[in-house]
Amino acid sequence: MRHSEYFIPTHKEIPSDAEIISHQLMLRAGMIRKLTSGVYTYLPTGLKAVRKAENIIREEMNRAGAIEVLMPAVQPGELWKESGRWDYYGRELLRFKDRHNRDACLGPTHEEVITDLVRKEIHSYKQMPINFYQIQTKFRDEIRPRFGIMRGREFIMKDAYSFDTDEEAADRSYRIMYEAYTRIFNRCGLKFRAVEADTGTIGGSSSHEFMVIAKTGEDQIITCSDCDYAANVEKAEVSPVMEPREVMENGMSLMEEVVTPGIKTVSEVTSFLKISPDQLIKTLIYKADDEVIAVLIRGDHELNEHKFQSFVGAGEIELAGPDLVFEITGAPTGFAGPQGLKIKIIADQSIRGMKNFVTGGNKKDLHLKNMNIGRDFTVDRFADLRLITSTDLCPKCGGKISFGRGIEVGHIFKLGTKYSQALNALFLDEHGKEKPVIMGCYGIGVSRIVAAAIEQNHDKDGIIFPIPISPFEVTILPLRVDEKIIIDTTERIYQELLDQKIDVLLDDRAERPGIKFKDADLLGTPVRLTIGPKGLKNGEVEIKLRSEPKSFTCPINDAATIIRKKITGLYDSLK
């Protein structure tokens, strides 16, 4: 590709409304432009990067036996009502009416559509296993789009759906996708980790997220240093801490009221009473759908809302506001306690063995000391409800855990029969018995892969693209386009590279060298060939890898061969 006949509008200035590196660099390198909040146009180089990621995904999906289809972006509301998600999915689902006043929506995901297809077309165990995938634009009306392409409202996604006759086969499909995902992200040159994850609104029994390790990641993940356990903090189990319980009977002190004027937060209460936070119990009042529930958490812990939500099985949970708290406890927020509450009380397992602790007094400016479970109040149920902390141990092996951040680029779910039952996707097994198909679904954020790769691979000068998803493999910089020798040499090598099917950008603009170097670094093409008057005098040209600090020179006639080798080397390093 000749730069002069192409379109790469770069900027020197950092756009003021771009916060994270990948967003800034994609704008500056001329890969994307924003149309409106969370919605972007892909310019030629941005599109090329996305297409390369798509092709890798396509190859690996096909290799894994999945079959490509393309489903509609616009979907009938009817289907969503049938699956029950029309009401449940909420505000991210962009809804509208067509001219006949029928409900419609822009597809944020395609479980409904694919299940509809399958219920119409798959009737026998002989037709399974089968896995359909598509690469398509999705629209989710995110509450807060941000970080450019990373969390847009409109984004390109690969989604796949597997259909199996029994659990065992479904597990096999899941494993095959797990392996395909591993190959895909490796081939894209990403440093990533598969972690156990929460299933969220998609539902289902188990799932893994593929996290690209990056400081700017939106998700917190924990990894064990001793075994291979890794999980999203939303999901991370906490191993039950069993305190010795026998002391409880003997060691209970007399309950005591203490006046705590205006003392509300954990840190205020603990410093006022000169106790440590693990001697205090927080009482959180939550609305879970229509029920109000009190949750007890130790002062130094945080409630994990995901665990809480799935424990109580609620569609929506919400921390109670001041009015509701007052109605339930008789006190303003900050003074709630479990004693005398007429609602269900559930508690994190860590407080099971606690004694003589502090709670709120259910009265303004009052706390209670020496509170004890059983004597002063009862807990309906204990469960693992809190966020894991750095002092917790690995739930699998008891090893040390560490915290990190990741960008979710892929997510795979075992769905079970959630959608097939709701939508009546049934088949006949070998005994002629009717059963719901067992599903799995598997997503990859295609556009997000590009952003994540940049997030992980850049320096002060710009992007350092992993070669498989770089818009170009090689950039040629002829430093003068008004000197015949330079032009001739350039054209010859350019042609040679093209003949070898190498994806090359020839910067044939009549620009000064500095501009060409800066632009080349910005766009981050892995291999750069510089052809300048100095080198040509010695019959040499200069080659530099974007990922390495130093360049080297080589004879003109060897350039194409050496470049070929370098490119092969870059691809091989990702295998």
Partner RNA sequence: CGGGACGUGGCUCAGUCUGGUAGAGCACCGCGUUCGGGACGCGGGGGCCGGAGGUUCAAAUCCUCUCGUCCCGACCA
- Do residues 178 and 127 touch, judged by C-beta distance below 8 A? no
Interface with RNA includes 146 (CB under 7 A)? Answer: yes
Burial class (CB in 10 A: 0-12, 13-18, 19+), 430: exposed
User: Which residue in 140, 301, 307, 414 binds RNA (CB under 7 A)?
Assistant: 140
Shortest Å, Cβ 172 to RNA: 22
3-state secondary structure labels for all residues of 173-208: HHHHHHHHHHHHHHHCCCCEEEEECCCHHHCCCEEE
User: Which residue in 189, 360, 361, 410 binds RNA (CB under 7 A)?
Assistant: 410
Shortest Å, Cβ 329 to RNA: 22
Interface with RNA by CB under 7 A: which range of 176-184, 256-264, 377-385, 530-538? 530-538
Interface with RNA includes 145 (CB under 7 A)? Answer: yes
- Do residues 302 and 314 touch, judged by C-beta distance below 8 A? no
**In which order are the strands placed within the sheet that holds 281-288?**
317-319, 281-288, 291-298, 344-348, 381-383
Interface with RNA includes 17 (CB under 7 A)? Answer: yes
User: Which residue in 102, 175, 512, 565 binds RNA (CB under 7 A)?
Assistant: 512
Interface with RNA by CB under 7 A: which range of 75-83, 352-360, 514-522, 556-564? 514-522
Shortest Å, Cβ 243 to RNA: 30
User: Which residue in 37, 271, 500, 573 binds RNA (CB under 7 A)?
Assistant: 37
User: Which residue in 444, 463, 474, 506 binds RNA (CB under 7 A)?
Assistant: 444
Tell me, what DSSP letter sits at residue 280?
A: B
What one-character-per-residue DSSP string does 206-218 give?
A: EEEEEEEE-TT-S
Interface with RNA by CB under 7 A: which range of 10-18, 166-174, 255-263, 360-368? 10-18
Burial class (CB in 10 A: 0-12, 13-18, 19+), 400: middle
Interface with RNA by CB under 7 A: which range of 162-170, 257-265, 340-348, 515-523? 515-523
User: Which residue in 59, 103, 171, 218 binds RNA (CB under 7 A)?
Assistant: 218
CB atoms within 10 A of CB 569: 12
User: Which residue in 411, 414, 458, 566 binds RNA (CB under 7 A)?
Assistant: 411
Q: Which is nearer to RNA, 33 or 245 (CB)?
A: 33
Tell me, what DSSP letter sits at residue 124?
A: B
User: Which residue in 47, 202, 255, 343 binds RNA (CB under 7 A)?
Assistant: 202
Report the site for RNA in 97-136 (rule: CB under 7 A).
109
- Helix (DSSP H) and strand (DSSP E) numbers for the chain: 16, 31
Interface with RNA includes 443 (CB under 7 A)? Answer: yes
Interface with RNA includes 479 (CB under 7 A)? Answer: yes
User: Which residue in 522, 527, 567, 570 binds RNA (CB under 7 A)?
Assistant: 522
Under 8 Å CB-to-CB from 165, ≥6 apart: which residues? 125, 128, 129, 427, 429, 435, 437, 438
User: Which residue in 2, 19, 374, 495 binds RNA (CB under 7 A)?
Assistant: 19
Shortest Å, Cβ 205 to RNA: 15
Report the site for RNA in 182-201 (rule: CB under 7 A).
200-201
Up-side HSE of residue 528: CA atoms within 13 Å toward CB?
27
Dist. CA 572–CA 570, nearest whole Å: 5
Interface with RNA includes 205 (CB under 7 A)? Answer: no
Interface with RNA includes 11 (CB under 7 A)? Answer: yes
Q: Which is nearer to RNA, 148 or 337 (CB)?
A: 148
Nearest 10 degrees: CA dihedral of 475, 480, 484, 489? Answer: -30
Interface with RNA includes 390 (CB under 7 A)? Answer: no
3-state secondary structure of 551: strand
Shortest Å, Cβ 40 to RNA: 9
Nearest 10 degrees: CA dihedral of 107, 109, 111, 114? Answer: 60
If residue 448 lies in a helix (H) or strand (E), which one and from where to where? helix 446-456
Q: What one-letter code names the amino acid at 473?
A: E
Q: Which is nearer to RNA, 60 or 521 (CB)?
A: 521
Interface with RNA includes 143 (CB under 7 A)? Answer: yes
Interface with RNA includes 447 (CB under 7 A)? Answer: yes
Report the site for RNA in 73-102 (rule: CB under 7 A).
92
CA 272 to chain centre: 41
Shortest Å, Cβ 39 to RNA: 8
User: Which residue in 99, 100, 120, 144 binds RNA (CB under 7 A)?
Assistant: 144
- Do residues 188 and 210 touch, judged by C-beta distance below 8 A? no
Shortest Å, Cβ 42 to RNA: 13
Q: Where are the beta strands (DSSP E) in 417-546?
A: 426-428, 434-436, 438-445, 458-459, 462-463, 474-478, 504-506, 527-531, 540-545
